[in-house]
Amino acid sequence: MSDTGWLWVVFTLIAAAAQTVRNATQRELTAKLGTVGATHVRFLFGFPFSLVFLAGVMIALGQGLPRPPLVFWPWVLDGALAQIAATALMLAAMNDRSFVVIYAYIKTEPVHVALLGLIFLGDIVTPAMAVAILIATTGVVIMALKPGTRMDVHATLLGLAAGAMFGLSAIGYRGAILSLGLPSFVMTATFTLVVGLLLQSALLSLYLWLRNPAVLSAIVRAWRPSLLAGFMGALASQFWFLAFAVASAASVRTLALVEVLFAQAISLFVFRQPTTAREGIGIVLIVVGVVLLLWAY
């Protein structure tokens, strides 16, 4: 492994923790702003924070803005558009089912990422890594699909579609980061984040201005909780992109399944909700899958 090889683990854990907070905050905004409005918050209020991150990187490295090649733009457009669709699908699904259940459906993402990364980026998935991805993903599904619970087909399809689109977005952003070819992975990750959030903010602002300008006014009125969602979203994305810059998207998104463990820990220690035997099996499988992934990487 290179000197930066293990950094992706640290980056991913930080990103997963920040994203758990962001998703919970964003879900609360859905009731006030609607699905599209709550989706827009993470981009519109995250963009200014990404500019601060970029300014800090430029000052620290003593570098100017990079000049992206033409191939950068299709990749970053794919990442930006797929992430908009994924976030909207996720929030729509959460309107129908519980936060934890939909979270689990979305976390089938590593399977999509592994296949898409192999096809579009040539990211190698070894047999051991494939087994790790399947074990960890199975653990998530076991935790979600509890016996006696009626499966909502509509919400399930929305959650799975969100996972697929998040996977496509991860591949697009990793492709954009790699296409820059800069010596500093921190600059490539941060610059890609800024461009992605700029595109997303502009596109969704235009859409809402044309279709439902009242939502834009509501977003402005809800600026206090939106700031927190925007900051946590930008922070999470910054560390996701740093991880994508030094490791395959499949590895990053599989380790990201620790988000489910974070949610379970909050449920146990904050809300005093005991862990069932089924959830315990799921947790064990996630841990086994993650450990196997780290061993195989």
**Quick one: tokens of 165?**
């689109």
The total of other beta-carbon atoms located within 10 Å of residue 60's CB is 11
pLDDT at position 150 = 61
**Quick one: tokens of 15?**
């990103």
CA nearest to 103, candidates 114, 112, 94? 94
pLDDT at position 149 = 60
CB contact at 8 A, 123 and 117: yes
> Phi and psi dihedrals of 257, rounded to 5?
-65, -10
Q: What is the 3-state secondary structure (H, E, C) of 155-195?
A: HHHHHHHHHHHHHHHHHHHHHHHHHHCCCCHHHHHHHHHHH
Give the separation between CA 85 and CA 83, rounded to whole angstroms: 5
The total of other beta-carbon atoms located within 10 Å of residue 183's CB is 8
Report the predicted TM-score, pTM, of the whole model to 2 decimal places: 0.87
**Quick one: tokens of 2?**
């290179």
Low-confidence ranges of the chain (pLDDT < 70): 1-5, 95-101, 103, 144-152, 266-275, 297
pLDDT at position 281 = 87
Residues whose CB falls within 8 Å of the CB of residue 164, separated by 6 or more in sequence, listed in order: 109, 112
Rounded (5°) CA angle 222-17-287: 145
CA nearest to 140, candidates 292, 262, 269, 267? 262
**Quick one: tokens of 251?**
């590895």
DSSP state of 69: -
**Quick one: tokens of 163?**
């996972």
Give the separation between CA 203 and CA 175, rounded to whole angstroms: 21
**Quick one: tokens of 27?**
């879900």
pLDDT at position 1 = 37
**Quick one: tokens of 198?**
């700029």
Give the separation between CA 150 and CA 12, rounded to whole angstroms: 33
Residues whose CB falls within 8 Å of the CB of residue 176, separated by 6 or more in sequence, listed in order: 72, 75, 76, 79, 192, 195, 196
Residues whose CB falls within 8 Å of the CB of residue 244, separated by 6 or more in sequence, listed in order: 170, 173, 174, 177, 189, 252
How large is the angle between the packed helices 153-180 and 185-211, nearest 10 degrees?
Answer: 130
Domain extents in the chain: 7-296
pLDDT tens digits for range 52-93: 999 999 999 999 999 999 999 999 999 999 988 887 787 777
Query: How many residues make up the chain in this entry?
Result: 297
CA nearest to 249, candidates 297, 286, 202? 297
